[in-house]
């Protein structure tokens, strides 16, 4: 699609600055209504698949993980979730999984994708399931990797929630970015990979400065603040999700309890299949690409 020069709803243009840092995957931008945008990168050929990253991440997470393997079977469109990477959202808006699913769906329509597989990791898995509940007739199905599926107290609500406060939140984010975040965020990024070590390629090529900038951490606080009501809505909607669903979870995941979330949600979604990956942690998509591809191909075959 040719680049558009005006940021009108539906316009597609290159992301400014997306190629300045060699670690940052070149993106294009879909301009949506209400000054929102979705940034994306595309690779591969075949049926359409949309890949959605999780918390403290941007699309480079999936790009450095399963996307190369998925691109052998699918046309993969990896997106920055609203408020993350180069995707823009209004402060205080589009924070819950349902709003984010709606924005990504609007971009999918603008790009002309047809019945895509919607694949998401962690928080992105919750967004993918919400997308499936909102528009089941438009998708082939859902693949959720280590998804958070039920309301529960979360560490990110404590760490990032205060930064989303309408008064003083932005100043707090700026202050912490210049102080404690320099130690906190690397600890969290490394802990996500337990029991494995962070892969050398991820450590070298992931744009930590982009994912850890104050505006995105504020967005993480907004996401965390809306998680309970949004997941309550999801719990009520799981029995209505009549599309192929595959959920993968790691037996050693310390970030999202596999049994309490993925396995339990699969039991509520008609026909959903759950696969527990032995000894895999939360970032299973970086070590179990073959399992991710199998799940996506199974969903596409059932569509």
Q: Choose the weakest-confidence range: 21-25, 157-161, 188-192, 241-245.
A: 21-25
pLDDT of residue 4: 35
pTM recorded for the entire structure: 0.94
Confidence of residue 19 (pLDDT cuts 50, 70, 90): low
- Asked whether residue 213 carries a pLDDT value surpassing 50, the answer given is yes
pLDDT at 28 over 90: yes
Question: Residues 237-264: what's their mean pLDDT?
Answer: 98
Residue 152 has pLDDT above 50, yes or no: yes
Task: Please give the share of the chain, as a percent, with pLDDT higher than 90.
Answer: 85
Report cis status (omega within 30 of 0) of the bond before 195.
yes
Residue 53 pLDDT greater than 50, yes or no: yes
Residue 254 is given by DSSP the state: S
More confident residue, 35 or 300: 300
How much is the pLDDT for 74? 98
Rounded distance between C-alpha atoms, residue 6 and residue 10, angstroms: 10
80-90 per-position pLDDT tens digit: 999 999 999 98
Q: Compute the average pLDDT of residues 33-59.
A: 96
What's the average model confidence in pLDDT over 117-132?
A: 98
Is 95 buried (19+), middle (13-18) or exposed (0-12) by CB count in 10 A? Answer: buried
With contact defined as beta carbons under 8 Å apart, do 74 and 25 qualify?
Answer: no
Quick check: 239 pLDDT over 50?
yes
**CA 172/CA 86 separation, integer angstroms:** 22
- Which pLDDT score, from 0 to 100, does residue 94 have? 62
pLDDT at 8 over 70: no
How much is the pLDDT for 7?
56
How would you class 205 by CB atoms within 10 Å of its CB: exposed for 0-12, middle for 13-18, buried for 19 or more? Answer: middle
Taking only the tens place, the pLDDT of each residue in 89-117 is: 988 776 899 999 999 999 999 999 999 99
Where does the pLDDT of residue 3 fall: very low under 50, low under 70, confident under 90, or very high at 90 and above?
very low
Q: Mean pLDDT across the chain, nearest whole number?
A: 93
Confidence of residue 9 (pLDDT cuts 50, 70, 90): confident
């Amino acid at each position: 699609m040719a680049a558009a020069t005006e940021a009108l709803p539906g316009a597609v243009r290159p992301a400014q600055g997306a190629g300045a840092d060699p670690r940052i995957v070149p993106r294009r931008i879909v301009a949506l209504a209400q000054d929102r945008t979705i940034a994306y990168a595309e690779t591969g050929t075949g049926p359409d698949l949309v890949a959605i990253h999780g918390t403290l991440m941007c699309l480079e997470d999936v790009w450095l993980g399963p996307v190369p393997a998925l691109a052998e079977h699918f046309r993969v469109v990896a997106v920055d979730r609203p408020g993350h990477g180069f995707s823009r959202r209004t402060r205080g808006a589009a924070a819950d999984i349902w709003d984010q699913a709606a924005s990504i769906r609007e971009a999918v329509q603008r790009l002309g994708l047809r019945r895509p597989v919607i694949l998401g990791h962690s928080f992105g898995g919750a967004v993918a399931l919400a997308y499936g509940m909102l528009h089941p007739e438009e998708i082939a199905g859902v693949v959720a990797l280590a998804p958070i599926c039920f309301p529960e107290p979360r560490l990110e609500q404590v760490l990032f929630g205060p930064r989303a406060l309408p008064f003083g939140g932005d100043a707090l984010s700026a202050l912490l970015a210049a102080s404690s975040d320099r130690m906190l965020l690397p600890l969290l990024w490394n802990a996500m990979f337990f029991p494995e070590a962070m892969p050398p390629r991820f450590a070298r090529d992931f744009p930590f400065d982009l994912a850890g900038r104050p505006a995105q951490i504020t967005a993480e606080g907004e996401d965390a603040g809306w998680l309970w009501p949004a997941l309550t809505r999801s719990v009520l909607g799981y029995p209505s999700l009549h599309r192929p669903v595959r959920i993968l979870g790691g037996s050693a995941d310390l970030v999202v309890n596999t049994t309490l979330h993925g396995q339990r949600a699969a039991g509520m979604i008609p026909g959903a299949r759950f696969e527990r990956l032995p000894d895999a942690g939360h970032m299973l998509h970086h070590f179990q690409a073959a399992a991710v591809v199998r799940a996506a191909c199974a969903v596409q075959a059932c569509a």
